[in-house]
Amino acid sequence: MPLSPEQIQRLARLARVAVSPEESSAVREQLNRVLKLIDELRAVDTTGIEPMSHPVAELIPAGQRLRDDEVTESDCHAEYQSVAPAVERGLYLVPKVIE
Amino acid sequence: MLNSTLCELSAALERRAISSVELTRLFLDRVERLNGALNAFITVDAQRSLGEAHAADQVRAAGGAGPLTGIPVAHKDIFCTRGMLTTCGSKMLADFVSPYDAHVIERFASAGAVLLGKTNMDEFAMGSSSESSFFGPVRNPWDRARVPGGSSGGSAAAVAARLAPAATGTDTGGSIRQPAAFTGVCGLKPTYGVVSRYGMVAFASSLDQGGPMAKTAQDLALLMNVMGGHDARDSTSLARDAEDYTRELQTPLAGLRIGLPREYFGTGCAPHVLARVREAIAWFESQGAKLIDLALPNSGLALAAYYVIAPAEASSNLSRFDGVRYGHRARAYGDLADMYCRTRAEGFGAEVKRRILIGTYVLSHGYYDAYYLQAQKVRRLIARDFAAAFARCDVIMGPTAPSTAFPLGANADDPVQMYLNDIYTIPAPLSGLPALSIPCGFDGAGLPIGLQLTGSHFAEARLLGAAHRYQQATDWHLRVPAETPL
């Protein structure tokens, strides 16, 4: 089922990626090509097949072990915040959310 | 020295025929001379490299050298390197200097290897041509009008043109093996969970796996001895004993059961590619290997399943790029949502946006079951095909890619045409299996062709052994592009 221009705008909103009106028709045309490819899956009979979310489940059926719940990291916030676009007094700055 | 294997370089360093500083300078000079034409590297820091080389020479003088001490290695720009740019080929991270090292970077550093530079790639590893990089396309050293494959195209081109003796790459749907095939080098995607993904920028977390690229299978084994192994910081890293990946290099081929899936030898593959692949397989048969016809009946669905699963995981993983904690932030914006939307519209290229939108769609309410869950069920069918096949054979062989390297821009308007490059490489990562590409000849235009060997889980050493035997009898892997003579 091809995507409509309205669906493209809705997806762009959900994904938080602006798609400009100029880009919209090219994006739609290319996404519809990809959809045509993945639509092949819909006809496959998968009755009784468990979804495979991860190859690890096949490799260690018991699942991954959890590590002990203890502090392993030291405080690196100054270093990590040194690459942030806007920081003040150890806080990340974003536009005002609550009036 | 430029065309030497890692073993040969290691021996030369050990007998003091050359120092690491001299060797590093040799490759840095070549990068400086040829990188303008190939665009294989995004970042080179000669001073840093030479400093590491000097330190390696001191370690050797003190008697503490290992097999890779003092050998320059290039890293795909997806591995975080402390104090150095890590861009992932994206405007989003064009100025990102990582505050920490990836596990793979740490392992090479503690093995004494010299970091030669960071290689160019498709943006966020999404692509099969290395054209989608914010830093411009990589060019194929065998023909600069053609692509080197992708997404690890910079690493592949660097090894092919002998700008680096070895490099790292990452493979989600073929991103190590397809560029290896297109440039005439060797590349291994290990079993899922064997190489830690700590500090490796995430694309599709149930598929992504780092691996080595080099001139020979033996070199890949040496690199795997450094890269592989458990890391508690990656929850998908498997807790297994350390392996020696060189242990099967001398194993004879007699009795090796080679599976030939009929789906890999069909009309979708260029005849000259199939011809060279069949010749290579005939050589294995002449050495006593047994050929077994088999079927992977669901492999034709792998591309469709992959293009649901990988974009779904990408849309989730790439939500971290929000312009708040690191990376690009739009200059002008209104409220918070507008900041996100503009930041991401400016920071991501067209293919990355496409995959985020597809991923958002297949995970959205009303479509999740029909696409995402269905793709995961098909994924299991594909994995079951392999399990059945490996009950009958030890290694599956076929072409790595359905064609040789294509011209730049050839697939620019049709993403699905681009995706078709990965039809033979996608099934292995969907199943978590190891797979390897090695050169097995050239087409009429002089472009390299890759033979793919796929094994069962943890069969890397077996694959490397079979490939090594082949490389003892052939010299495809030692040919050097005429455009970048030694």
Q: Tell me the pLDDT tens digit for each residue of B259-269.
A: 999 999 988 99
Number of other residues whose CB lies within 10 A of the CB of residue A79: 11
pLDDT of B128 higher than 90: yes
Q: How does pLDDT run across A13-36, given as a tens digit for each residue?
A: 999 999 998 899 999 999 999 999
Q: Which of A34, A58, A92 sits opposite B358 (nearest CB)?
A: A34
Domain extents in chain B: 6-254
Kindly state whether B366 is in contact with chain A, defined as any CB-CB distance less than 8 angstroms.
no
Q: How does pLDDT run across B447-459, given as a tens digit for each residue?
A: 999 999 999 999 9
- B132 as an active site residue: the answer is no
pLDDT band, very low/low/confident/very high, at B472 (cuts 50, 70, 90): very high
Q: How does pLDDT run across B156-178, given as a tens digit for each residue?
A: 999 999 999 999 999 999 999 99
Query: In the prediction, which pLDDT does A97 show?
Result: 83
Mean pLDDT over each residue of chain B, to the nearest integer: 97
Mean pLDDT of B405-409: 97
Kindly state whether A62 is in contact with chain B, defined as any CB-CB distance less than 8 angstroms.
no
pLDDT band, very low/low/confident/very high, at B26 (cuts 50, 70, 90): very high
CA separation for the pair B18, B69 (Å, rounded): 13
Partner-chain contact B335 A95, CB within 8 Å: yes
> A62 versus B191: which is more confidently predicted?
B191
- Listed in sequence order, the residues at least 6 apart from B51 whose beta carbon sits closer than 8 Å to its beta carbon are none
Query: In the prediction, which pLDDT does B94 show?
Result: 98
Mean pLDDT of B409-438: 95
Model-level ipTM above the cut of 0.90? yes
Chain A residues inside the 8 Å CB shell of B416 = 33-34, 36-37
pLDDT band, very low/low/confident/very high, at A60 (cuts 50, 70, 90): confident
pLDDT band, very low/low/confident/very high, at B82 (cuts 50, 70, 90): very high
Mean pLDDT of B263-281: 96
Partner-chain contact A11 B374, CB within 8 Å: no
Contact B198, B234 (CB under 8 A): yes
Kindly state whether A35 is in contact with chain B, defined as any CB-CB distance less than 8 angstroms.
yes
Mean pLDDT of B302-327: 97
Which structure tokens are listed for B349?
Answer: 């290229």
Contact B171, B152 (CB under 8 A): yes
pLDDT of A99 higher than 70: no
Query: In the prediction, which pLDDT does A98 show?
Result: 76
Partner-chain contact A64 B236, CB within 8 Å: yes
CA separation for the pair B168, B77 (Å, rounded): 9
Chain B residues inside the 8 Å CB shell of A13 = 341
CA separation for the pair B328, B349 (Å, rounded): 13
Mean pLDDT of A42-65: 85
Mean pLDDT of B100-105: 98
Query: In the prediction, which pLDDT does A37 show?
Result: 95
Query: In the prediction, which pLDDT does A50 show?
Result: 95
Mean pLDDT of B49-74: 98
Instruction: Answer whether CATH 3.30.230.10 is correct for domain B6-254.
Output: no
Q: How does pLDDT run across B384-401, given as a tens digit for each residue?
A: 999 999 999 999 999 999
Segment among A80-84, B111-115, B256-260 with least mean pLDDT: A80-84
Query: In the prediction, which pLDDT does B101 show?
Result: 98
CA separation for the pair A24, B238 (Å, rounded): 43
pLDDT above 90: percentage of residues in chain B? 96
Query: In the prediction, which pLDDT does B486 show?
Result: 86
pLDDT above 70: percentage of residues in chain B? 100
Q: Which of B191, B236, B336 sits opposite A97 (nearest CB)?
A: B336
How is B172-239 classified by DSSP, letter by letter?
SSSTTHHHHHHHT-EEEEPPTTSB--TTBPPS-TTT-EEEEEESSHHHHHHHHHHHBS--TTSTTS--
Mean pLDDT of B352-381: 96
- Listed in sequence order, the residues at least 6 apart from B110 whose beta carbon sits closer than 8 Å to its beta carbon are none
CA separation for the pair B65, B71 (Å, rounded): 11
Partner-chain contact A38 B375, CB within 8 Å: yes
Mean pLDDT of B69-93: 98
Mean pLDDT of B352-370: 96
Instruction: Answer whether CATH 1.10.150.120 is correct for domain A1-44.
Output: no
Contact B237, B141 (CB under 8 A): no
The residues with which B171 forms a beta bridge, in sequence order, are B209
Query: In the prediction, which pLDDT does B293 show?
Result: 98
Looking at residue B215, the DSSP 8-state letter turns out to be S
Chain B residues inside the 8 Å CB shell of A84 = 324-326
Residue B182: alpha-carbon gap to chain centroid: 12
Choose the mutation target among A29, A32, A41 for the interface with B, i.e. most B CBs under 10 Å: A41
pLDDT band, very low/low/confident/very high, at B35 (cuts 50, 70, 90): very high
pLDDT of A65 higher than 80: no
Query: In the prediction, which pLDDT does A62 show?
Result: 72
DSSP-based three-state secondary structure for B395? strand
